[in-house]
Structure 1
């Protein structure tokens, strides 16, 4: 398993445990903290997706040149 899969699975386990405890009446994590974590996570994911889907790095520039040389881009 890769690190990303393990991280996603661990976060899923924490979310399930938190949900079960909330159903049983235990407030384990405050709503404000959850909202803040979601906002930060969303922001980081948006930045990551923007970086990966554009030709910003040197490697990306080389990839774009190869694509243009083979008429694979507009």
Structure 2
């Protein structure tokens, strides 16, 4: 549902950018270590990042695909 924009709103958005969206809460952070082929899951708590679980090592076929994706993403 969009509202019609007037000239003032458009000018303010051009000068200062669109209004910020509310922050989404991050439930879990997943990190992949390509050298050990393992996934590390963390949860953000009161004491900071707390490790939840470690998954892996993943099988060699999946690891090659993941490592290739990781290299493409970092490039």
How high is the TM-score relative to the length of structure 1? 0.30
Q: Which has the higher contact order (CA 8 A, sep 6+)?
A: 2
Could you say which structure has the higher strand fraction? 2
How high is the TM-score relative to the length of structure 2? 0.30
